[in-house]
Amino acid sequence: MRGLIFDVDGVLGDSEGLSERASVRVFKERYGIDVNGEDFRAFIGTGPHRYMQGVAEKYGVDIDVEEAIDLRQEFYVELLAGGVDIGFPGTHALIEAARQSPDWKLAIATSSPRNKATATLHAARVDTDWFDVLIYGDMVTHKKPDPEIYLTAMAALGLSADDCVVIEDAITGIQAAKAAGCACLAVTNSFGGHELAQADRVVDSLEGITLADLGELLIGE
């Protein structure tokens, strides 16, 4: 049995840009600070607390992190309210192939809290019922690049790192996957390929990626 573990933001849903826009609005409307979307790139995948606090530290502003996260969630949901499909090409086909295979289990492991991840997955037309295991950021203590979230997902799947492939878009996520001992496929939805070189394979899209491709990462063939 093998495990396929998906990150959410930037992998299953094209949400990083929306997260940046919602976060920029928080700093502008709540704290009167003009920040740039680019300021958040270094904190992609690290969880909402570090995502907001890191930029606050850069600008030397004190924020109520919990309040900022709640407000960001409100603004983020507003951006999704139009019913836009934020799914990436190839994701549904790969998920469906794994669901139909007797040899694969599916998991989600995201640094986002449940409420944000659920909104993202809904907008990406991804049903959580398709997955055997769901691990959200508010279910673990240490966020990526710490491997805890992937170790937790593997334990829930009942599989070892030798049998699991992680799909990531972020540098910190790749670091977490590799620290957990997993093979990692990186997709260039959020960072350039040269920035994701620590992954076992880097692709521009999941379109055309097969279970056989993932199996090759596991056995290094």
Which active-site residues does the annotation give?
7, 9
What does the alpha-carbon distance between residue 64 and residue 163 come to, in Å, rounded to a whole number?
A: 41
Coil/strand/helix, residue 190: coil
Place of tokens 């570090």: 50
**Residues 87, 139: Cα–Cα separation, whole Å:** 24
Question: 133-135 and 104-109 as β-strands: parallel, antiparallel, unpaired?
Answer: parallel
Q: CB of 209 within 8 A of CB of 94?
A: yes
Please state the φ and ψ torsions of residue 9, each to the nearest 5 degrees: -65, 120
What is the rounded CA–CA span in Å between residue 94 and residue 89? 10
Query: What CA–CA distance (Å, rounded) separates 146 from 176?
Result: 5
Residue type, 123: A
**Coil/strand/helix, residue 41:** helix
Task: Look at the block and give the residue holding tokens 């001992």.
Answer: 181
The beta strand positions in 26-118, using DSSP E, are 104-109
